Structure 1
């Protein structure tokens, strides 16, 4: 892994994972520097991570993940994939710039981003017997309304967002609904109508299932879903087992005792 940094005042980092030509890395750094400069002095903590795995099962192997912090507006993030590294860089930084301007000027990035991009990174075709939970992440859940959680999910370009629902105090999850550009809300233990949020948000009539990690992994395999939201049979907290782009699994769980 190679790291390239510009002068600290601009707080820019370009991270390379895998083997890339030096000129492609320099191109990414130059384009990132131009982006943060164009966004102005309230933009900082810009990050660009480039990944090009050797897996031949994907047709768009070059993945660019870009993010930037905007004073007073928060963080905006984009992750897109293309055939060539420079194409991925241009796609990610161009999309990030447009969303950052909208977030700063209007307060959110709009619902157009609710639809899955055709340049979303692809899942590697890893045999079932080789799949493992290779990353476990413990997080302190932010307290949000369902609407706030959806808007934050869109700004961060996530498929799902785990949060603590201020209306019920429960571990909850919002996610994109494939195909229709809408969203779905699932709570860990019960359902409760929250009223119209002004978003195409459907509330699940069922609580999250109680599953061990192996059972959640089996659901991922049987359904081909990108993730499974479930509760821990031990402590009852909500957690997410999700598919990684390398074909393995990741597990996100709340910090024990933290709400």
Structure 2
């Protein structure tokens, strides 16, 4: 007698930030369920976060952040914006599906993901005097080679990625270079020459600047950069102060090492 193997119930979670019509939320959940079904049994769960903050001075106010967990691949994520919530859902889930398939079948996302999307969420206009650090996040830094860190950054659709460089043991960061579509590596305390890489990855000739939080905030304000990677004068650890899409700031710090 053959026993039928049933796939467990699809794990889909839709999170809402702000006020959204129930019809849009139901549409987002149905599209997420269809995505998991199309990706097959190695797709474990999907998460979709929707936001349409009021009063944002942007032309694409609806933001959809979508992610899926794939067996033997890990987490794939994308965050994109559109005029309406449903447009943002379709755009994010469609892009996510394409990236997931390429990762699963080819082991890489593809050249299209290596360039900034024109549908990336926009920064809200906020006077500098009103900007605050509204989110602080401490994370354990995974050991990666710079090339592995770049590929992880692409899979997670980040502008930058903080990691522990296995070549030197230093807190390090890779980030996109929007001008030429390449990537840049910055280490906390010193520089070493990279070996060969299959990616357009260059290394900063200078270590991360040593800045306290007020100094890093001033640099972020004056330069209008999306982030500032720096080392803390107290513990020497690398950290990233970055601009949030709501116009405020966020701070990422590594988890303190046990003594």
CA-to-partner distance for each residue in 1:88-124, whole Å, 9 max, x for gaps? 0000000000000011111121232111000000111
CA-to-partner distance for each residue in 1:6-57, whole Å, 9 max, x for gaps? xx82111011111111111111111111001110111012000000000231
RMSD (Å), alpha carbons: 1.4
For 1:140 and 1:63, locate their aligned partners in 2 and report how far apart those are by CA, in whole Å: 27
Q: Is the 8 A contact 1:140 1:258 kept in 2?
A: no
For 1:13 and 1:56, locate their aligned partners in 2 and report how far apart those are by CA, in whole Å: 26
The 5 A counterparts of 1:1-259 are 9-257=9-257
Q: Normalising to structure 2: TM-score of the pair? A: 0.95
CA-to-partner distance for each residue in 1:196-252, whole Å, 9 max, x for gaps? 211100100000001111111111111110000000000000000000011110000
For 1:111 and 1:232, locate their aligned partners in 2 and report how far apart those are by CA, in whole Å: 35
Any idea what SS the aligned residue of 1:164 has?
Answer: strand
In structure 1, the partner of 2:3 is none
For 2:220 and 2:103, locate their aligned partners in 1 and report how far apart those are by CA, in whole Å: 34
CA-to-partner distance for each residue in 1:167-221, whole Å, 9 max, x for gaps? 0000000000012110000000000012121110010000000111111111111
For 1:232 and 1:160, locate their aligned partners in 2 and report how far apart those are by CA, in whole Å: 18
Give ranges in structure 2 of 5+ residues lacking alignment: 1-7
Change (3 A) 1:204 1:100: same
CA-to-partner distance for each residue in 1:61-99, whole Å, 9 max, x for gaps? 000000000001111000000001100000000000000
For 1:102 and 1:198, locate their aligned partners in 2 and report how far apart those are by CA, in whole Å: 17
- Equivalenced residues, count: 253
Any idea what SS the aligned residue of 1:151 has?
Answer: helix
Change (3 A) 1:106 1:258: farther
Any idea what SS the aligned residue of 1:183 has?
Answer: strand
Change (3 A) 1:40 1:139: same
Any idea what SS the aligned residue of 2:9 has?
Answer: helix
Larger Rg belongs to:
2
- Larger mean Cα displacement after TM superposition, 194-203 or 140-149: 194-203
Q: Is the 8 A contact 2:56 2:125 kept in 1?
A: no
Deviation of 1:257 after TM superposition, in Å, equals 1.1
Q: Normalising to structure 1: TM-score of the pair? A: 0.95
Deviation of 1:258 after TM superposition, in Å, equals 5.9
